Structure 1
Amino acid sequence: MFYANGKLAEKKVFKDPVHKYVHVEDRLIWDLIGTAEFQRLRRIKQLGTTFFTFHGAEHSRFNHSLGVYEIVRRMIDDVFDGRPEWKTEDRMLCLCAALLHDIGHGPFSHSFEKVFELDHEEFTQRIIMGDTEVNAVLRRYDYHFPEKVAAVIAKTSDNKVAISMISSQIDADRMDYLLRDAYFTGVSYGNFDLERVLRVMRPYNNQIVIKQSGMHAVEHYIMSRYQMYWQIYFHPVTRSAEVILTKILHRAKTLHQQYYTFKHQPVHFYSLFEEEVNLEEYLKLDENIMYYYFQVWQEEEDSILQDLCRRFMNRNLFKYVDFVESKHALNNWVEISSLFKKAGIDPEYYLVVDSTSDLPYDFYRTGEEEARLPIMLLMPNGDLRELSRESEIVEAITGKKRTDRKLFYPHDLLTEDPKKAKIKEQILKLLKG
């Protein structure tokens, strides 16, 4: 190891609107924050296109990553340290995994991933294990340390406590983004008693559990999460912006495959278009780069790419109606698509169904998509009980998946041409059922 006692000569702090201060006393953490890969997170928004709906939502993955680190640090230093089931040697592994858990996110995160079929957790592991500044810093601490941190991210580590701290149904990741996103969107839905939740957490039988006396604080946390998803994360205006963003990327990829000659060549996207993304090129992508292309593509000859980019840059978003299977059955859908084409509007890019769903709490089912460890209560007699077995509030929403489907379309294109008034009326009638 290259670090003497591993501590900085003087503790560093980041002023933070959610946690007041983020405290850094370990040289390893300070060096990781200073890497190019971690600093890149300043240029990636935490909430993607949500700023179109809630103008304050401009905070970054950098902010959030520091917040997750701070919550894990407080779990360890303020609650777990000195308890018989806590292993002191696990401290740096948990702190590094918390700090780096989102380092593989691309610009506009989930929209970007869907178009190019990427996985940010895979890129997080590649950054930790690859030829990067992050890897060099971790190897200076311990040659095998990158493998250990990557295993926590991949959820394959033998250290289940570390996994539970950053990837369970009450982990530091969720706790920070609920509080942080509520703060920056200006709503109160995501607020819960973090202090109380941290105080009742315990390392127990190779996992993190909650003392039974803290059950009501956890109920509040789960209901806060439920409200944030439906009031903030799934807001239809945000989804409209995501639809346009997604269609821009699809259109650019299609044009590239058709050998279209761009006025402004998308050199940063070539590897994505060819589905041969290497780590070096991936790390060059951030939202500043994306905005550059959206800006210049407004001058392209292709009318669809030009229009979609103008919409995104100027917030001229699609309107929406609820998508109901009974109203928008196959025959109806074919008719709507046909009328769009008749009106000179390509339904591939301007008629979009978006479906979103959330499962606020569920039992852990091994191998299922998005499976996460359940919340276990530590009873006074030492037994463990799964949360929904004790809480009537949580039981009421356990396993209940709620889905919302919207049909997005450019209302202005249906109203701006008087010559297409009859077609417009037919389309709007069909859209509204």
Structure 2
Amino acid sequence: MKLAETKVLRDPIHGYIHIDQKVIWDLIDSKEFQRLRRIHQLGGVSMVYHCAEHTRFAHGLGVYELARRMMSEVDEIAQFLNHQQKMAGLCAALLHDLGHGPFSHCFERFSHIHHETLTKAIILDPHSEVHQILNKEDPSLAQRVVDILNHQSDCPLLEEMISSQLDCDRMDYLLRDAYMTGTTYGNFDLERILRVLRVKEGHLCVKRSGTHAVEDYIMARYQMYWQVYLHPDAAGYESMILTFLQAFKDYCDKHPSDLLQCKIVDLHQDVLNLQAFERLDDFSLLMQIEKAQDLEDEVLSNLSRAILSRRLPDWKSCQNKEEGEQWIAHLKLSHPFQQALCQVMRMEAGEYRPYFESLHNPIRILDGDTCIPLSQCSDVTQALLNMKNPQQWRVYFPKERFLKYEKTA
């Protein structure tokens, strides 16, 4: 059902977010989507780039807007998809990050639950407002949205628009994160890419004349990961958050906790407690960290002070885990708080590699009447595929002021 008039929301990346479907407007107003206002997009990166305070809420709207533009401005996409498919795709674009916990990806490393798992559980939960809104629109809509996110739908084109090597998700977060961090690494020619998108045999592809625009997009992704997302100080801050979470969980196991009505440790890998998760956001976590300053546990109380005051650990590069552990042993730290700040971390590109290619997931280039993988017509991409999987090892340890630690009164 269409709204009586199109709603528009101002956006620094896309100018306006356009909403003309009631189901989208209602989903935006749902408590599950509104919760994303309280989840920072970049976690610890905001401790390095001070303006990076944007949220998963804004990103979800941006991904939706890009999907909407593809469906309305790219003629071949508009003609290929029917109304039912478009609605499912727009909902999937909007809701794809519902399952992010406090500080986004940081919390996943504590809970061991991927945000996509929680996203799909929320959408399918009959008690969630999101599910009820989708069900009111169409009883099959929630499952069709989840099928798109699972890459199990009957429309590969929609899946590729939402999650692939050239998708609305990546295109929005690169531009948005670059803008909000004040960097230029993530910039690429979005308008050119939209102009050269095509559909061939049910798959998303790019005209060969758009190859250079795609190369630019891939390099933007590469630079953003190594210069912004994997910044050493951002990773150091998140390591303190993770250390706090584990230490607090251990504390709660030993002591009945009345610090907060909602405990951050109520979510476990084997139990998707969606009611507990609904109350988890950056603010609830920071409030719990703030309260932990008054605990008698010296590790937790000092960790909380360090987190809240941005007292980051020091770091240095190392060749491997063994070298990092030797460096920590060399410091001869005696206090548990000092020891808690020590971490050896492998910063491996992994999923952050700018481009990878297999039979089912290449960026497709339309060469005449045939689709070919991007690597066959791009020397830049071929070089990226041939490079070794980049990785760095870092050892984190207390700065000098922490080495002079004195027992808290």
1:154 Cα deviation (Å)?
Answer: 1.5
CA distance in 2, matches of 1:334, 1:79: 56
CA distance in 1, matches of 2:51, 2:28: 25
CA distance in 1, matches of 2:328, 2:174: 41
Query: Kindly tell me: are residues 294 and 92 of structure 1, through their superposed partners in 2, closer, same or farther at Cα, counting changes over 3 Å?
Result: same
Partner of 2:250: 254
Stretch moving more, 107-116 or 58-67: 107-116
Corresponding position: 1:396 with 2:383: yes
Give CA deviations for 1:273-310 in whole Å, capped at 9, x if unaligned.
Answer: 69634111111111111111111111111000111111
1:206 Cα deviation (Å)?
Answer: 2.0
Of 339, 357, 364, the match for 1:363: 357
TM-score, with normalisation over the residues of structure 1? Answer: 0.88
Corresponding position: 1:76 with 2:67: no
1:108 Cα deviation (Å)?
Answer: 1.0
Of 153, 159, 167, the match for 2:163: 167
The one-letter code of the counterpart of 2:117 is: E
Query: Kindly tell me: are residues 156 and 34 of structure 1, through their superposed partners in 2, closer, same or farther at Cα, counting changes over 3 Å?
Result: same
Partner of 1:383: 370
CA distance in 2, matches of 1:377, 1:329: 44
Q: Check conservation: 2:71, 2:78, Cα contact below 8 A.
A: no
CA distance in 1, matches of 2:158, 2:373: 20
Q: Check conservation: 1:116, 1:275, Cα contact below 8 A.
A: no
Query: Kindly tell me: are residues 263 and 310 of structure 1, through their superposed partners in 2, closer, same or farther at Cα, counting changes over 3 Å?
Result: farther
1:266 Cα deviation (Å)?
Answer: 6.7
Partner of 1:344: 335
Partner of 1:47: 42
Q: Check conservation: 2:267, 2:276, Cα contact below 8 A.
A: no
Query: Kindly tell me: are residues 202 and 354 of structure 1, through their superposed partners in 2, closer, same or farther at Cα, counting changes over 3 Å?
Result: same
Partner of 2:148: 152
Partner of 1:308: 303
Q: Check conservation: 1:72, 1:98, Cα contact below 8 A.
A: yes
CA distance in 2, matches of 1:33, 1:194: 25
CA distance in 2, matches of 1:175, 1:413: 42
Corresponding position: 1:407 with 2:395: yes
1:87 Cα deviation (Å)?
Answer: 3.6
Q: Check conservation: 1:210, 1:377, Cα contact below 8 A.
A: yes
Whose radius of gyration is greater, 1 or 2?
1
Corresponding position: 1:218 with 2:214: yes
CA distance in 1, matches of 2:381, 2:392: 21
Q: Percent sequence identity over matched residues?
A: 38
Partner of 1:184: 180
Query: Kindly tell me: are residues 267 and 91 of structure 1, through their superposed partners in 2, closer, same or farther at Cα, counting changes over 3 Å?
Result: closer
**Which runs of 5 or more residues in structure 2 are unaligned?**
none
Stretch moving more, 262-271 or 159-168: 262-271
Number of residue pairs the alignment of both structures matches: 401
Q: Check conservation: 1:47, 1:57, Cα contact below 8 A.
A: yes
CA distance in 1, matches of 2:160, 2:78: 17
Query: Kindly tell me: are residues 214 and 228 of structure 1, through their superposed partners in 2, closer, same or farther at Cα, counting changes over 3 Å?
Result: same
1:357 Cα deviation (Å)?
Answer: 2.1
Give CA deviations for 1:334-383 in whole Å, capped at 9, x if unaligned.
Answer: 8437x22xx324575221012222211111367xxxxxx22010012x11
TM-score, with normalisation over the residues of structure 2? Answer: 0.93
